[in-house]
Structure 1
C-alpha cells in the first residue's frame, strides 16, 4: 500500500497543502489588476451568469483578429470577481479553458496558479492540466493531483497522478499504476508509453521504454508535452497536421527545438500570441546559437538585415523577403519596428501599404501616420490610416470612399466593406455616405440580431469587459473571409463607445489590411 492509499484509508489525508495564513480567497482570481492594464475587478460582477458562461463557453474557434485576440486575452487574465450566480472556481475554469483554446497556455497556467489546490474542482483541474501540458510543465499539476486525486478518474488523470508519485519518490507505485492503466485500456498505448518513460526518468526506472508512433493518428496535449519533454521526435506527418494550438504551444515551450519554435513564430505572432518584440527576441536567439544549422538561421539573418542594414533600400528589400515567406501577416508583425525605423520617402511609396500594415500590427499608429502625405486619397494606405488615426476633425469624404471602392480588387470587395463598417463604427462617415456606400456594396449595417443587441446593450451600460467578451464571440473564424461587415461595425462601435477606442481603431485597420 502506498502512502497516499494508507492516508486515505485511515482518514489522515490533509485537506490543505498550505498553512492557514497563506491561503487565498477565490474571489478576484486573475493575473493582472486594473493598475497593470487589466479590467476593473467588478466589471462582470453584476452581469448574469448565463450570459458570461455562454460567451466564455461559446468562443470555441480562433479569433480572426490579432487585436481582438489581444483584447480578449487581457479580459480573461484580469483579476475579476465572478458574475452574479456563478461560483468563482467555475469562472476561473471557464476562463482558463478559453485561454487554452486560444493557444494562451502560459496565461492559463498563471491564472489557475492563482487558485489554491484545495479549492480545485474537476473542471478547473482539467483546464489546469491542459495549461501545464501546453506549456511543457508536466509536473505542474502535481500539487492538485496529490491533494485531490479523486477529482477525476479518466486515464489521463491516472497517468498524471502516477508521474507525480514517481517524482515524489514512489517510483514502484508509479510503475504499478501505469501498468494497470495500460492493461485496463484506460488510456491509449502511446500515452502510457510516454508516461512510463517520463516516470522512469525520476531516477529508479527499471526498464527501457521504446516509443512507437505506429497507428497514432492525432496529436494531443499529453503526447505533445511528454514527447517534447523527453526529446522524442514527433512524426512530421503527425506534427504538420496538428491544430494551430500546437504551433502556439511549440513557440512557448522551452523544451522544443529552437528552429521548430521559430518556424511556429510567424503564426503565433499573426494570431496575437507573440508580440513583435517577442518574435524578434526568438529570432535573435536563433541567430546567436552556433549549433543551429545555417539553413535554419537564414530567416534570422534576413530579419537582422531588415533592422540593421546601413542602406534603407537594403532594409526594405529584406522586409519584402520576410513578407513573402510563411504567414504574410506574421511577417508584417515581425518587421513592425523595422518598418517604423524607415524614414518616409517617395522612393518607397509603392511599399507604403505593407509598411503601414506592419506598423499598425504592433500598434505603432504615430509612426504609420508619418506616411500619410505619401499615400493618395482613396488608396489602401490611406484607408488604413483613416481608420487608425486617433482623432479626426471631420468626417471622411464620400468621394474618397467611392475611389477606394472603385479600385478595390479584394474578394467580394471585402476591404471596402470593412472600411465602410470601420469608419461607420467610429463615427467618421455621414449617414448619407454610409447609405450610399452600403448600397453600392450590398451591405446593411442597420440590421440587428441577438448578438448585436447584447453587445450594443453592454456598450450602452458602459461595460468594457462584457463588450470585449462579446466581441470575441463575434470574431470567431479561421480567416477574415469569415467576418462580416455587420459584425465588424457592431464590434468597432461598441468598443469605441466604452472607451476602448484604440482597440477599435486597430481592429478596423487590421480588417482593411487583411480583408
Structure 2
C-alpha cells in the first residue's frame, strides 16, 4: 500500500467516529429562547452520601507534578487486563506523539458561552476532588434528559479547573462521564483539545476509552506508546501494532502481532485477529483470519471499535453489552449499519445526546429511500408536508402514539419539530397536551405556551395535563393551590405524580404560602441529609457546575425511583445558580415521564 493510500485509510477510520448526516450540536437540544412512592425509596446516590461528606483521599505526588492525583475508580479495562498508573512519568517518550507544546490547559473546553456554554467560572469555588468523586460514581446515563443536557453543557464548557486537582485529571473526569452518558462526540472534542504533552496518566486511560467508544482507531496512535508504558492493559499493545501498520511499518506490526498471538494468557486470539484485520487493510495482506463472533462471548470497547472501523458487522444481540450509553455512540458511528442506527436515534435523543431536530434528520437520512407512507419516515414526511392540515395532524398523532413505556418520550421528541410547525387551531384541542409535552421535551417553551388558549378549552383531563406541563415548563398559566387540586382531580393523579408536580412547582418558587401548606405537608414533607445539604450549599454559593453534578447524582435510575424531594432540590438548585430554563424543563420532564 502506498503512503497516500495509508493516509486515506487513516483519515477514513477517523471519519467513522462521527458518522454521516447527523451533524449538529454535541450537547443535545439547545434551550429555546426559542409509580407510587414508597416509604423508603432505594438509594440513587453515590457513596459520598452514605457517610458524612469528606474530601476524597489523594495519592502521593508524581515526580514533576504540582497537584495531587485524584484517587477515584478508574475506567474499566480497555480490553481485558488491569489498569495501573506508572510511578514515574519521565519514561514517556512515545515517538508517535506530536511535538511538545507546553500549552496551559487550566481553562479548556470546546463549548464557549457564545455556543451555549456555561462560562469559565462554571466550576470555580468547588473542590475538585469532591466533584471528581461524585462524577466517577454517577451511574450514567442518568434518568433525566434535561438534567443530562445541563450536565453535558457544563462538562463541555470552556471552563477553569476547580481547585486541588490537576487540569489534565479534571479533563479525564469530564470526558469519562461524558462517554458514560453517551456523549462520545463531545468527549472526543474535549480530549482532542488537550495537547498530548499535557496528558496525565488518568487522561491517557480515558482518552483510550473515548477513542474506542467513538470507533476511532487512528485516535489511539498519538497516545498508544505512552499508554503502553502507563498500563498493563493489553489493548495498548494491540494499539501499537495497529498504529505501526497504519503508519507503514509492516515489519513492526507483524512482529508485535506474532508475539501477542503466542501469549494467550494475556490476550485472546479473537482480539489478535481483530488487530491483524487493521494491519491487513493497511497493507499486511494475508495475515488476518475470518472473524467468528461465536468466539467472543462479550463485546468489549476494543472489539466494538476495531470491528466498526474495519467494516466488520457486529451482531445486534451483542451491542446491548455496551450499556445504555451505546445509543449515543451508535448514532455517531458510520461503521454501524443504518438499521441499527435508525433504531437507536430515539433513545439517543432521550439520553440528551441528540437534539429533536437531529433526531428527525437522522430518521430521514437512515430510513430506506422508498419508505411507505405508513412507515416511520413516511409519517414524518406527512407530519411536515402532508396534503392537508388534517393529514398532518393525523400523522403527528400517530407519531406521538407510536411510543409505549420507555419509548413514549422518544416518540414525543420525534414529533416535536413537526409539532412546532403545526398551526394552533381548535381542531387539535384533543392532542394539545401531547403537543405541549413534545415541544417542552425539545425545549421549545414559546411554541408550547401558544397552545394554552386551545388547551384551556379542551376536555378536563386534557386541559389539566396541559396546565401542569405549562405551569412547570413556562410559568405562563395561572398557578395556585386550587388549580393544583383541580389538576389532581381531573387527571386522577397518583400521590407520586402529584408529589412530583408539587416538587417541581415548589422548586421554582411557585408553591409557597399558606394555601399550599396542606399539599406540601401531605406530599412533600421536608427532608434533610448530606446530599440535600450539599446541593443546597452549592446553590447558595452559586457554584453552578457543582450544583449540576449534584443534580445528576439525585436523578439516577428511572423516574419512578426518583423521590419527589430530590426533584425539589434539583429544580431549586438549578434555578438559584442561574439556570432557570433548565430547571423548568427538568420539572416539565418529570410531569411528562413520572
Instruction: Provide TM-score, normalisation by structure 1.
Output: 0.90
Q: State the distance in 2 between where 1:490 and 1:87 align.
A: 30
Q: Are positions 1:405 and 2:405 aligned together?
A: no
Q: Are positions 1:238 and 2:318 aligned together?
A: yes
Pairs within 5 Å for 1:401-440:
401-409=484-492, 412-440=494-522
Q: Retained in 1: the 8 A contact 2:449–2:476?
A: no
Deviation at 1:241, TM superposition (A): 5.5
Q: Retained in 1: the 8 A contact 2:225–2:236?
A: no
Deviation at 1:148, TM superposition (A): 5.7
RMSD of aligned residue pairs (Cα, Å) = 2.4
Aligned twin of 2:409: 329
Q: Are positions 1:252 and 2:332 aligned together?
A: yes
Aligned twin of 1:280: 360
Aligned twin of 1:356: 436
Q: Are positions 1:304 and 2:415 aligned together?
A: no
Deviation at 1:53, TM superposition (A): 1.5
Aligned twin of 1:172: 251
Q: Deviations over 1:249-282 (max 9, x none)?
A: 1101122222221110011011211101111211
Deviation at 1:154, TM superposition (A): 1.0
Pairs within 5 Å for 1:11-160:
13=93, 17-19=97-99, 22-146=101-225, 149-160=228-239
Deviation at 1:353, TM superposition (A): 1.4
Deviation at 1:120, TM superposition (A): 1.9
Q: Retained in 1: the 8 A contact 2:372–2:378?
A: no
Aligned twin of 1:191: 271
Bigger Cα displacement from structure 2, 246-255 vs 89-98: 246-255
Runs of at least 4 residues of structure 1 off by over 4 A?
11-20, 293-297
Deviation at 1:17, TM superposition (A): 4.6
Q: Are positions 1:264 and 2:344 aligned together?
A: yes
Q: State the distance in 2 between where 1:142 and 1:241 align.
A: 26
Gaps of 5+ in 2: 1-90
Q: Are positions 1:384 and 2:384 aligned together?
A: no
Matched position secondary structure for 1:447: coil
Structure with the bigger percentage of helix: 1
Q: State the distance in 2 between where 1:296 and 1:93 align.
A: 46
Matched position secondary structure for 1:214: helix
Q: Retained in 2: the 8 A contact 1:99–1:105?
A: yes
Aligned twin of 1:8: none
Q: Retained in 1: the 8 A contact 2:184–2:329?
A: yes
Q: Deviations over 1:209-229 (max 9, x none)?
A: 111112433222211122222
Instruction: Tell me: CA distance 1:34–1:284, structure 2 relative to 1, closer, same or farther (3 Å).
Output: same
Deviation at 1:92, TM superposition (A): 0.7
Deviation at 1:294, TM superposition (A): 4.4
Pairs within 5 Å for 1:479-494:
479-494=558-573
Gaps of 5+ in 1: 1-10
Aligned twin of 1:3: none
Q: Retained in 1: the 8 A contact 2:142–2:555?
A: yes
Greater RCO, 1 or 2 (C-alpha within 8 Å, sep 6+): 2
Q: Retained in 1: the 8 A contact 2:470–2:476?
A: no
Matched position secondary structure for 2:282: coil
Instruction: Tell me: CA distance 1:195–1:360, structure 2 relative to 1, closer, same or farther (3 Å).
Output: same
User: Number of paired residues?
Assistant: 495
Matched position secondary structure for 1:165: helix
Pairs within 5 Å for 1:312-323:
312-323=389-400
Q: Retained in 2: the 8 A contact 1:390–1:502?
A: no
Bigger Cα displacement from structure 2, 116-125 vs 422-431: 116-125
Q: State the distance in 2 between where 1:430 and 1:240 align.
A: 45
Bigger Cα displacement from structure 2, 190-199 vs 94-103: 190-199
Q: State the distance in 2 between where 1:404 and 1:282 align.
A: 37
Instruction: Provide TM-score, normalisation by structure 2.
Output: 0.79
Q: Retained in 2: the 8 A contact 1:193–1:211?
A: yes
Matched position secondary structure for 1:158: helix
Q: Deviations over 1:424-483 (max 9, x none)?
A: 111112333433123443x31x21111111111111112222211211111111x21121
Q: Deviations over 1:379-403 (max 9, x none)?
A: 11110011112567x7x22122112
Deviation at 1:239, TM superposition (A): 2.8
Matched position secondary structure for 1:153: coil
Instruction: Tell me: CA distance 1:179–1:320, structure 2 relative to 1, closer, same or farther (3 Å).
Output: farther
Q: State the distance in 2 between where 1:118 and 1:242 align.
A: 31
